[in-house]
Amino acid sequence: MTLEQIRALVTDDLAAVDRLLRERSRSEVGLADQVARYIMGAGGKRLRAVLVLLCGRALGGLRHPDASFLLAAVIEFIHTASLLHDDVVDDSEVRRGRATANKVWGDEASVLGGDFFYSRAFGMIAEIDHSEVTRILANASNAIAEGELLELMHARRVGMDETQYLTIIEGKTAKLFEASCIAAARIEGASDECARELTDFGRLLGAAFQIADDAIDYLEDNPEADKSVGDDLAGGRLTLPYIYALREASEKDREFLHHAIQSGQREHIQEVCAIMHRSGAIDYAWKRAGEFAQRARERLDILNPSPWRDALDGVTEFSVSRRY
């Protein structure tokens, strides 16, 4: 299933969410308004919003549409806030096919733009007025920040292993996927058993998505890339392909990888990509991403058959077959 086919199942719902995103991005403050229009206007996959809508439709048919639309918009705002911050942390140049906000307006504006979105999300969470959903979103936001700090602590530490990597990505990425599914389930009033399965679904899907993202950062030729490549190398981030290659590549290649990650020089990226390819690190990352996606999709058995359940299955497939 393509992303377009998946999105087509919730076209009207997504249009309502997009309207909210536009309306709630407005500000009287010129710079806030400019940054917000720029980043929201760039689009993006809106995958987390799609998850909220599909879970809601699959479970109860969006019994409380206003709350579900607000939830989808809140999650996109938290995600956007985290990307505005992340692009400063990673000194990234391209996002969603455009220059990053930090390259257009500088680091200060990008960080403060992130704060703008994050604080707008607070107000919308209050509008949803659902204590369990508030708790889920508060915990997820905190886990994202902790995941990022953990990643920073491990930067350039070549001893990092796969378990530590998985802990990082569970925090920085998987938690928001998880929150999208479980908060949508809570709004529909789903059973505890169903909520538990969807929590696992979101977490496993989020891990699969991030592993795929980390493989994409080392693809040799990728015309579909819509963001800077080589950021993980420059930032000394030990992602799954790198961890694997440091273990399995030839001795000469391993030495090069040690040097490249310590120095963080972007000019090493081509050689590093070549090593990733010949050591089997990219194949390994896709394989692991596929395993997580498969485990995620098994959790969907809890849902009654419906086109929305099939589309959730399609999201798992898309997450590990995409190249952008």
Q: How far is the CB of 176 from ligand FPP (least distance, A)?
A: 7
82 scored as a contact of ligand FPP (CB under 6 A) = yes
Which residue of 90, 170, 214, 217 would you call a contact of Mg ion, by CB under 5 A?
90
42 alpha-carbon distance from chain centroid:
16
Burial classification of residue 321, based on how many CB atoms lie within 10 Å of its CB (0-12 exposed, 13-18 middle, 19 or more buried): middle
Torsion, Cα 286 210 66 8, to 10 degrees, reads -30
Residue (of 240, 285, 239, 230) closest to 263 by Cα position: 230
| 217 is a contact residue toward Mg ion (CB under 5 A) | no
Question: Of ligand FPP, Mg ion, none, which one sits near residue 173, judging by CB under 5 to 8 A according to partner kind?
Answer: ligand FPP
Residue 203 makes contact with ligand FPP by CB under 6 A: no
272, interface contact from ligand FPP, Mg ion, none, CB < 5-8 Å by kind: none
Task: Give the DSSP letter of residue 301.
Answer: G
Of 64-72, 89-97, 189-197, 280-288, the segment contacting ligand FPP by CB under 6 A is 89-97
Q: How far apart are CA 208 and CA 164, in angstroms?
A: 16
As a whole number of angstroms, the distance between CA 218 and CA 230 comes to 7
* Nearest-10 crossing angle of helices 107-128, 131-153: 150
Across 245-262, b (16+ Cβ under 10 Å) vs e yields bbeebeeebbebbeebbe
Q: How far is the CB of 87 from Mg ion (least distance, A)?
A: 6
282 binds, among ligand FPP, Mg ion, none (CB under 5 to 8 A by kind): none
Q: Find the shortest distance in angstroms from Cβ 90 to Mg ion.
A: 4
Q: Is 89 in the site for ligand FPP (CB under 6 A)?
A: yes
Q: What's the N-to-C CA distance of the chain in angstroms? A: 16
Contact status: 114 vs ligand FPP (CB under 6 A): yes
Sorted by sequence, the CB contacts under 8 Å of residue 110 that are 6+ apart come out as 35, 84, 85, 87, 88, 100, 101, 102
Contact between 86 and Mg ion per CB under 5 A: yes
Exactly one of 68, 141, 180, 319 binds ligand FPP (CB under 6 A); that residue is 141
Question: Distance between CA atoms of 61 and 187, rounded to whole angstroms?
Answer: 11
Per CB under 6 A, the list member of 14, 111, 144, 168 interacting with ligand FPP is 144
Q: Would you count residue 173 as binding ligand FPP (CB under 6 A)?
A: yes
Q: Give yes or no for residue 319 binding ligand FPP (CB under 6 A).
A: no
Contact of 320 with 286, CB cutoff 8 Å? yes
Contact segment (CB under 6 A) with ligand FPP among 3-11, 88-96, 183-191, 304-312 equals 88-96
Question: How many chain residues touch ligand FPP (CB under 6 A)?
Answer: 19
Choose between 154 and 172: whose C-beta lies nearer to ligand FPP. 172
Q: Which of 86, 188, 197, 313 is close enough to bind ligand FPP by CB under 6 A?
A: 86
78 binds ligand FPP, rule: CB under 6 A: yes
DSSP per position, 243-260: HHHHHHS-HHHHHHHHHH
**172, 186, 297, 309: residue in contact with ligand FPP (rule CB under 6 A):** 172
Count of residues interacting with Mg ion (CB under 5 A): 2
Q: What is the 3-state secondary structure (H, E, C) of 108-162?
A: HHHHHHHHHHHHHHHHHHHHHCCHHHHHHHHHHHHHHHHHHHHHHHCCCCCCCCH
Residue from 35, 81, 160, 320 in contact with ligand FPP (CB under 6 A): 81
Residues that bind ligand FPP (CB under 6 A): 78, 81-82, 85-86, 89-90, 92, 114, 118, 141, 144-145, 148, 172-173, 213, 227, 231
Residues that bind Mg ion (CB under 5 A): 86, 90
